[in-house]
Structure 1
Amino acid sequence: MVESTRIYLSNITVELKYALVHEWLTPKAKGGSELVVQEILKYIDAELYALIDFQSTNPDSYLYKRTIGTTFLQHFPLARNGVQKYLPLLPIAIEQLDLRPYDVILSSSHAVAKGILTSPHQLHICYCHTPMRYAWDLTWDYLEGDRKGQGISGIVTRYILHRLRQWDVTSANRVDYFIANSHHTARRIWRCYRREAKVIYPPVNIDRFQKLTIQRSQKSDFYLTVCRLVSYKKIALIVQAFNKLQKPLIVIGEGSQIKQIRALAQSNVRILGWQPHSVVEEYMAKAKAFVYAACEDFGIALVEAQACGTPVIAYQQGGASETVRDIRDCTQTGTGLLFAEQTVNAIVEAVETFEKYQSQISMEQCYLQASKFSPTIFKKSYLEFIDQCGQEFSLKLKFKSKQLSQTQQI
């Protein structure tokens, strides 16, 4: 049902034309940002644009046979596997999207989507999942973990990232209103762009976990972590900690570090690689606790674990501090335990402390905490903010038009 396609000015109803811009749409891109796009399209009749699109031809995608506008990167070699390899071209590509026919531009941005070009009469609202992480917070991880960060190529890469940061700040000025997916992200938006952002948590489909939560009144004796196996996720630290603890750990995910992780893992740690949703959900429901050591802007997996009635042990920075309630601080409503440092010893201590408090954490409290991030709450907050922005923007246009008229009369 389309619910936000018009505004009201005096007694006149004005139908609006919406565009929704996202970075890339590929079978491998199935994170929180893609869930936000899917949710928005359920209730806003927007035409969709992206740098590349390989989902409209994918029979398994909800975007199958949908008309999606793309850029010249669509035809580049190996684009289907991601356009990060064409990083210097991303700002140029996103600026080639012609969005002149639209009244309202909605962008879902974790890299360059917010950089689309708009006209003064167009309202641009950006849902920012994160300022471009490899250009800001993860610059050093990006340089150290890639051969392109070394030698002569390292100098070139540093220059590209420098120019990318300049463009990123400039393009932030093209946004009329920012939405952040957490208070942590809102602080990063302020630090990078000096722009305020409204916090609206992303939608988590918690209903699909409710049946599992009811069925699993007893937990199994293993810990679980699920994520992409890349450096900033800190999976190596978790594996090393459980090697030291000699407690059972299951790791689900794939990524560039999978060989390194397999080499680290002792017999008590099982690396399952990629698994379908049904398998991930089953392990989440059975796990004694979900362990996470990355600093995430939101961290949708932490909420999904709690929706399964599973406590979370997580690094306290980032979104985790907003989605997980530490049992030591919230004795009646605790849903897990937070640790202060991304170190092996901190994880070991956190797991040992968790086992002392485990009996005080209920599955019901975990599910209740997760329910605060439901699609219904996202829908209400998002639509209300879109309407508010529309009204404010319309008033600004009318005021500026009146000022111009008065100036011309003088």
Structure 2
Amino acid sequence: MSKKTPKTALVHDFLLKLGGGERVLKVFADMFPDAPIYTLLYDEKSVGSVFPKERVRPSSLQKLPSFIRKRQKYLLPKMPGAIEEMDFGEFDIVLSSNSAFSHGIITNTDTKHICYCHSPMRYAWDWTHEYVKEQNVGRFKKAAIALLLKKIRMWDQIAADRVDKYIANSKTVRNRIMKYYRKDAEIIYPPVDVNRFKPQKKKENFFLIVSTITPYKKIDLAVQLFNKLGKELVIIGDGPQKPYLQSIAGPNISFLGFKSDRETAQYYQNARAFIFPGEEDFGITPVEAMAAGTPVLAYGKGGVTETVIPGVTGEFFNKPTVDSMGQGLAKLLTNEKNYSVTAMRDQAEKFSQERFIKEIEKAINN
């Protein structure tokens, strides 16, 4: 008698844009082609080509008018309840892709919940003070926001106990899970499609950023530095901070907006170096740059310390300042001939999609 295939569901916090977390979810979706995808909010226009409407099961928040759905921060108090409403009684396995609320689903005792954690909710934990300070409101409203985040932290710790098995996307995230949830986690690095890149030794004289353009990505540091240096900087991606950065950028800095994977690969392959100014939990784009044979200049904190090898595949700068980034860039340019295309590609291969699938399958089966 053949063994029954476990019925599986996928859960992802939000399907509103295509970023690193959504690339991981796409691999999960391909691994489990019959699994529906549960999410709090869904934007078909932005992600429907990758995650078709027929496969997505959004929460009750999706019924709200679009002008409310677009203001996610105002929906924060509703999100824990919305994720808990979802019914997974028909499934044997639930695989959540989590950086906010999706780990808080409620499952039956015979349903196994495996959480692939991109990070515990950063604006509720390690970024909470900065998040409150950044809100452009009066002190009473800031106090109310701080109180809301306190309540979310209380819920978050309770929700963390519902997970049967945690998988962290890096050592950095494993440490956060241990600190905030007091739970251990297996480490499985995210998948990088290294095969779409063909490393090139001959480079053009421009520097590259591929990123969503939001304040925490610290792209403003790169814009300020390249304004001073006058060197060519190409920025691929969109986001709410883009108009401001365009307003302060010199003519040597180009904002190209969204580009297809094929077009982006060409820029990766031709760039003199890849610039990664922010702190990320893992950071897929530096690995993509190395797969393309392009050295990386990165802020030396977070997941990038597990992927980039200083002096071999790139360099780090030590402080999130323009001066420190400038010193790092000077070091990278001095050592430019030391970065072997073969070494960069070999390092990127360690994070391949094929490796990820095997490790996830093993984790689920165990």
Question: What range is the shorter-chain TM-score in?
Answer: over 0.9
After TM superposition, the score normalised by the length of structure 1 is 0.84
The 2-side partners of 1:193 and 1:60 are apart by 34
The answer to whether the Cα contact below 8 Å between 1:54 and 1:80 also exists between their aligned partners in 2 is no
The 2-side partners of 1:235 and 1:65 are apart by 33
Partner of 2:41 in structure 1?
A: 52
Q: How does 1:30-45 map to 2 (within 5 A)?
A: 30-44=18-32, 45=34
Deviation at 1:202, TM superposition (A): 0.9
Deviations 1:14-43 (A, max 9, x none): 5422221111223xx211221222111222
Letter in 2 for 1:323: T
Aligned length: 364
Out of 342, 361, 366, the residue aligned to residue 383 of structure 1 is: 361
Deviations 1:163-207 (A, max 9, x none): 111111110000011000111111111111111010001111111
Q: Which moved more, 1:58-67 or 1:188-197?
A: 58-67
2:342 counterpart of 1:364 = yes
Distance 1:63 1:224, change over 3 A: closer
2:121 counterpart of 1:143 = no
Out of 332, 347, 352, the residue aligned to residue 330 of structure 2 is: 352
Distance 1:43 1:259, change over 3 A: closer
Identical amino acids, percent of aligned pairs: 38
Deviation at 1:130, TM superposition (A): 0.8
Distance 1:263 1:59, change over 3 A: closer
Deviation at 1:363, TM superposition (A): 1.8
Letter in 2 for 1:102: F
Out of 91, 98, 115, the residue aligned to residue 104 of structure 2 is: 115
Deviation at 1:86, TM superposition (A): 0.9
The 2-side partners of 1:49 and 1:309 are apart by 37
The 1-side partners of 2:36 and 2:125 are apart by 30
The answer to whether the Cα contact below 8 Å between 1:239 and 1:269 also exists between their aligned partners in 2 is yes
Out of 223, 226, 233, the residue aligned to residue 217 of structure 2 is: 233
The 2-side partners of 1:305 and 1:219 are apart by 13
Partner of 2:243 in structure 1?
A: 259
The 1-side partners of 2:47 and 2:273 are apart by 35
Q: How does 1:11-410 map to 2 (within 5 A)?
A: 13-26=3-16, 29-44=17-32, 45-55=34-44, 61-64=49-52, 66-78=54-66, 81=70, 83-148=72-137, 150-210=138-198, 213=199, 216-327=200-311, 334-388=312-366
Q: Which moved more, 1:151-160 or 1:294-303?
A: 151-160
The answer to whether the Cα contact below 8 Å between 1:224 and 1:249 also exists between their aligned partners in 2 is yes
Partner of 1:6 in structure 2?
A: none
The answer to whether the Cα contact below 8 Å between 2:196 and 2:265 also exists between their aligned partners in 1 is no
The answer to whether the Cα contact below 8 Å between 1:141 and 1:232 also exists between their aligned partners in 2 is no
Stretches of structure 2 that go unaligned for 5 or more consecutive residues are none
Deviations 1:120-166 (A, max 9, x none): 22211100011111111222332233324x33221211111111111
Distance 1:272 1:144, change over 3 A: farther
